[in-house]
């Protein structure tokens, strides 16, 4: 098995799933009659908040890691991130017994830094600009020979994230639709590929905060757009699509729904209160879209990917 250099095929995703199975949890699918009643639909929540490192990111990072050769792997894994992807790369490296080098902005929350260090990663601090992050990472890679794992614009990462929808489609029969949030588009691309390969009749919709609607505008205009603000509570969705993820979504996605900050918060609270599980604000975006658009979702069996559960309990929005 070697790194993927083109859009993952059905066989690529199947091989990926087999390869990463020892490194990930097969997360449960939960239902909630109170939320179904509110939505007028049957919702099946794929709980990646219970995934290792608390987010689906473990799937993509571990796939990128296992596809490296022994020699490449021994030099280590590298990335720049202050979020779930950093922890996913760090834990993948730890499980494979190789070094991880993580570039983090100086202002990253102490808790996230500590969690990443707890997985044994070596952390290099830099200024909080994209330029500083990229140049610092380049120096680390030059010095160590480690392999950079991009958080989403990478076919290995996309194939890894695709295993989440694959499991959901295996565990729930007769789904009409799948929904997921759109940030950089890695999860969304993997989701739509798995639906096309493993359940061709299933419609796939993305959901995005109005405040960071780059994917919506990119699909509307046919040109890759970027966000001008990052002013959303859904902090996992502030990134822009990459060229690879845009390409896949442009071909395959059935649509993207936009939701307001108030709608996100309301959906997040509904999940916390009725399902008794902890999800990140980003996770609530698809449910917000489902509640906003009964004309699309009512009466349907809908798979909803809950992407992660890493929230700062000292800064809850309630």
Cα dihedral sign for 285, 288, 292, 297?
A: positive
CB of 167 to its own copies, least distance (A): 17
CB of 13 to its own copies, least distance (A): 26
Sheet with 147-148: strands ordered across: 122-126, 100-105, 77-80, 147-148
Is 135 in a helix, a strand, or coil? helix
Q: Indicate whether 276 belongs to the interface with its own copies (CB under 8 A).
A: yes
- Among 279, 287, 296, 302, the residue binding its own copies under the rule CB under 8 A is 279
Q: Indicate whether 298 belongs to the interface with its own copies (CB under 8 A).
A: no
Which alpha helices (H) appear in 67-183, and where do they start and end?
70-75, 84-96, 110-118, 130-144, 155-171
Q: Indicate whether 198 belongs to the interface with its own copies (CB under 8 A).
A: no
Q: Indicate whether 83 belongs to the interface with its own copies (CB under 8 A).
A: no
CB of 316 to its own copies, least distance (A): 6
Residues in contact with 260: Cβ distance below 8 Å, sequence separation at least 6, in sequence order: 209, 210
Is 147 in a helix, a strand, or coil? strand
Q: Indicate whether 171 belongs to the interface with its own copies (CB under 8 A).
A: no
Q: 43-72: which residues touch its own copies (CB under 8 A)? A: 49-50, 54
Q: Indicate whether 316 belongs to the interface with its own copies (CB under 8 A).
A: yes
Hunting for tokens 């730890």 — which residue is that?
Answer: 94
In sequence order, what DSSP letters do the residues of 226-238 get, joined into one string? --S----S-GGG-
Binding mask 9-48 for its own copies (x = CB under 8 A): -------------------x--------------------
Binding site for its own copies (CB under 8 A): 28, 49-50, 54, 269, 272-273, 276-279, 309, 313-314, 316, 318
């Amino acid at each position: 098995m070697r790194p993927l250099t083109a859009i993952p095929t059905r066989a690529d995703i199947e091989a990926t799933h087999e390869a990463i199975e020892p490194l990930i949890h097969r997360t449960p699918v939960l239902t909630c009659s109170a939320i179904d009643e509110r939505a007028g639909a049957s919702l099946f929540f794929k709980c990646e908040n219970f995934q290792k490192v608390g987010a689906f990111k473990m799937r993509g990072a571990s796939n990128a890691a296992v596809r490296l050769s022994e020699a490449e792997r021994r030099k280590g894994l590298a990335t720049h991130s202050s979020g779930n992807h950093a922890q996913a790369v760090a834990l993948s490296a730890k499980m494979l017994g190789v070094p991880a080098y993580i570039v983090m902005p100086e202002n990253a929350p102490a808790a996230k830094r500590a969690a990443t260090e707890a997985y044994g990663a070596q952390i290099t601090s830099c200024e909080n600009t994209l330029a500083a992050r990229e140049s610092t990472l380049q120096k680390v890679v030059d010095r160590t020979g480690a392999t950079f794992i991009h958080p989403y614009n990478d076919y290995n990462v996309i194939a890894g994230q695709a295993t989440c929808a694959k499991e959901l489609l295996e565990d729930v029969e007769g789904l009409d639709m799948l929904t997921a949030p759109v940030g950089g588009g890695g999860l969304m691309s993997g989701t739509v590929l798995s639906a096309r390969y493993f359940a061709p009749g299933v419609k796939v919709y993305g959901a995005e905060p109005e405040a960071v609607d780059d994917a919506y505008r990119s699909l509307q205009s046919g040109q890759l757009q970027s966000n001008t603000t990052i002013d959303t509570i859904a902090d996992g969705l502030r990134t822009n699509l990459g060229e690879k993820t845009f390409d896949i979504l442009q071909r395959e996605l059935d649509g993207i729904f936009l939701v307001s900050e108030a709608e996100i918060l309301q959906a997040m609270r509904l999940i916390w209160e009725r399902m008794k599980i902890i999800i990140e604000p980003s996770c609530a975006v698809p449910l917000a879209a489902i509640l906003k658009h009964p004309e699309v979702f009512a009466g349907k069996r809908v798979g909803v990917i809950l992407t992660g559960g890493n929230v700062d309990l000292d800064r809850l929005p309630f």
